[in-house]
């Protein structure tokens, strides 16, 4: 279709309706390797493939929408983190980003540990055979039942998040005749998001015990006194989608300062320090994430330097990447349903999913990319917005994107970098059925989480 068939939407460099300046990429058929999973490519016919399989075939076999996950890429990223940190550190994959039994097995095989933060995540991890001593249990409001299950299972650590929880976990462990290994999560007064960090007053949130005012030191005092607990370290998680290491620098400085105070007061050098996760990925070509080996080098240097300054033995470091491992490995495959050009504004492209399979755009104003994947096109780019099928005008998947002007119902489009916090945050809004997760590897595909059915929905509705 020519531009006259789609009159809406500026074609070239333009000011978007919300005032942002944007220009279409030089080639809409190109797939930026920064945002697409490793094995994604466009074949000679213009069809996008992943793991050697055409998306058109995947759509036929598994339907749309579907999350398509590149298993080789997942394993490669997990391995890169593991290798980068070496044997003197531990990498805990943050299961909340996306957890399934297949993922647990991949992590186990690649030598990673696992963070869980609910009974459901713990059950998934254990049912897939993750050794309990490689599981860390997180959360600001773990129920007594969850704590008991975790202690009984023998999880490697519980990360304590409040004064009440210190007592609660100690009591439960003791009543089971156990001594539970724990860390205390503190807030260091740093909050990092994307390219910036703020080093003031970010104790004002639900997680952790503030370092400020001596609260963290008091928590350590109490934990050290309780027989049911073995305090192994201090935990700090400063934010998400972080690109800049300076937030970690301040956090490490403050955590090591606490370790020094603990040594001075109690004569104890805690053996571990956990710096959390939050490392950023590329959602669009504008994002420039760091490689795991650069991150490992930077974090190790920071902690070593701080400990030398404080005359402490360097503790064992652990990190907890979630998004950085799974985020880039998957894309969401959608079928275009309607294409609605709005004069002078943009073209609205409706797909067969939406905020139920990707809430991040509505929730965080997240940015995503999108491409036509069932064919190549040389049509002029049009400014588009990819929206879902939900009864809600905020149901936006990709806010601003350029797509070929000949886009039509039945085309397949894909949104890359949806591996993290999309399936795991998916809902049944409008009684829409949650999409499957299809893993591809070496020319083969298999469903690792199946598509929800109407029977699944009705099974819960016992009315």
Ligand X SMILES: *Cc1c(COP(=O)(O)O)cnc(C)c1O
306-325 positions binding ligand X, by CB under 6 A? 320-324
Give the residue with the Cβ less far from ligand X, 10 or 278: 278
In this chain, which stretch among 94-102, 104-112, 193-201, 253-261 interacts with ligand X, using CB under 6 A? 94-102
- Scanning 92-100, 102-110, 120-128, 428-436 for contacts with ligand X by CB under 6 A, the matching segment is 92-100
Residue 242 Cβ vs ligand X, minimum distance, rounded to whole Å: 8
Q: Are strands 444-449 and 437-441 parallel, antiparallel or unpaired?
A: antiparallel
97 near ligand X, judged by CB under 6 A:
yes
Q: Comparing C-alpha atoms, which of 421, 350, 425 is closest to residue 391?
A: 350
Active site residue 391: yes
Enumerate long-range contacts of 104-111, CB under 8 Å, 24 or more apart. 104/128, 104/129, 104/130, 105/129, 106/71, 106/74, 106/75, 106/78, 107/78, 108/134, 109/75, 110/75, 110/78, 110/79, 110/82, 111/79, 111/82
Closest to ligand X by CB, 121 vs 406, is 121
**CA distances (Å), 224 to each of 44, 148, 156, 232, 373, in order?**
64, 20, 18, 10, 57
**Binding region for ligand X (CB under 6 A) out of 197-205, 218-226, 277-285, 401-409:** 277-285
> Is residue 237 near ligand X by the rule CB under 6 A?
yes
* SS3 assignment, position 24: coil
Asked if 96 touches ligand X (CB under 6 A), the answer is yes
Q: Which of 117, 307, 391, 422 is catalytic?
A: 391
Judged by CB under 6 A, does residue 240 bind ligand X?
Answer: yes
Q: At what angle do helices 246-266 and 292-309 cross, to 10 degrees?
A: 40
Minimum CB distance to ligand X, residue 210 (Å): 16
Binding piece for ligand X, criterion CB under 6 A, among 91-99, 193-201, 346-354, 447-455: 91-99
Among 48, 68, 69, 94, which residue sits at the site for ligand X (rule: CB under 6 A)?
Answer: 94
Pick 35 or 420: Cβ nearer ligand X: 420
CB of 250 to ligand X, least distance (A): 17
Q: Please list the alpha-helical segments (H only) found in 129-278.
A: 144-153, 163-175, 215-225, 246-266
Count the site residues for ligand X by CB under 6 A: 17
**Minimal CA–CA distance to 188: which of 108, 258, 242, 126?**
258
- Nearest partner of 265 among 229, 222, 308, judged by Cα: 222
Residue 65 binds ligand X (CB under 6 A) = no
Please, which residue, 9 or 208, has the CB nearer to ligand X?
208
Give residue number: closest CB to ligand X. Answer: 322
**CB count in 10 Å sphere of residue 197:** 21
Work out whether 208 is an interface residue with ligand X (CB under 6 A): no
Instruction: From residue 75, give the alpha-carbon distance in Å to each of 91, 93, 439.
Output: 14, 12, 12
Is 444 in contact with 51 (CB distance < 8 Å)?
yes
Question: Is 287 one of the binding residues for ligand X (CB under 6 A)?
Answer: no
Question: Which tokens in the block code for residue 5?
Answer: 């068939």
Q: Please say which residue, 130 or 339, places its beta carbon nearer to ligand X.
A: 130
Enumerate residues 111-140 that contact ligand X by CB under 6 A. 115, 138
> Residue 255 burial (CB < 10 Å; 0-12/13-18/19+)?
buried
Catalytic positions, please? 391
Interface ranges with ligand X (CB under 6 A): 94, 96-97, 115, 138, 237, 240, 276-279, 320-324, 420
């Amino acid at each position: 279709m020519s531009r006259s068939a789609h009159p809406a939407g500026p074609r070239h460099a333009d000011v978007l309706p919300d005032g942002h300046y944007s220009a279409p990429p030089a080639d809409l058929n190109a797939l930026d390797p920064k945002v697409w999973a490793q094995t994604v490519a466009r074949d000679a016919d213009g069809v996008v493939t992943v793991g050697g399989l055409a998306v058109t075939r995947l759509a036929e076999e598994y339907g749309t929408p579907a999350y398509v996950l590149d298993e080789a890429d997942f394993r490669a990223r997990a391995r890169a983190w593991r290798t980068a940190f070496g044997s003197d550190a531990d990498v805990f994959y943050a299961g909340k980003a996306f957890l399934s039994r297949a993922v647990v097995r991949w992590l186990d095989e690649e030598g990673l540990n696992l963070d869980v933060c609910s009974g459901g995540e713990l059950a998934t991890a254990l049912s897939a055979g993750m050794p309990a001593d490689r599981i860390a249990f997180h959360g600001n409001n773990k129920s007594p039942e969850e704590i008991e299950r975790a202690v009984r299972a023998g999880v490697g650590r519980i990360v304590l998040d409040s004064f009440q929880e210190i007592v609660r976990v100690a009591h439960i462990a003791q009543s089971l005749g156990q001594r539970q290994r724990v860390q205390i999560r503190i807030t260091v007064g740093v909050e990092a998001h994307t390219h910036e960090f703020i080093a003031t007053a970010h104790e004002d949130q639900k997680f952790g015990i503030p370092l400020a005012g001596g609260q963290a030191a008091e928590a350590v005092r109490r934990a050290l006194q309780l027989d049911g607990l073995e305090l192994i370290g201090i935990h700090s998680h400063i934010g998400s989608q972080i690109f800049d290491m300076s937030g970690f620098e301040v956090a490490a400085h403050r955590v090591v300062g606490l370790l020094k105070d603990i040594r001075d007061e109690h004569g104890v050098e805690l053996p571990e320090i956990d710096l959390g996760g939050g490392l950023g990925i590329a959602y669009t070509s504008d994002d420039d994430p760091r490689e795991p080996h650069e991150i490992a080098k930077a974090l190790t240097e920071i902690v070593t330097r701080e400990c030398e300054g404080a005359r402490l033995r360097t503790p064992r470091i652990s990190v907890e990447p979630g998004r950085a491992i799974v985020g880039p490995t998957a894309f969401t495959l959608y079928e275009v349903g309607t294409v609605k050009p709005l004069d002078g504004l943009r073209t609205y492209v409706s797909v067969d999913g939406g905020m139920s399979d990707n809430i991040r755009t509505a929730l965080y104003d997240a940015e995503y990319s999108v491409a036509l994947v069932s064919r190549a096109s040389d049509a002029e780019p049009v400014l588009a917005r990819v929206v879902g099928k939900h009864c809600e005008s905020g149901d936006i998947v990709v806010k601003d994107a350029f797509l070929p002007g000949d886009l039509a119902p039945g085309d397949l489009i894909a949104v890359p970098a949806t591996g993290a916090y999309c399936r795991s945050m998916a809902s049944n809004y409008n009684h829409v059925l949650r999409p499957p997760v299809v893993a591809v590897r070496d020319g083969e595909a298999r469903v690792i989480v199946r598509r929800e059915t109407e029977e699944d929905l009705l099974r819960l509705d016992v009315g």
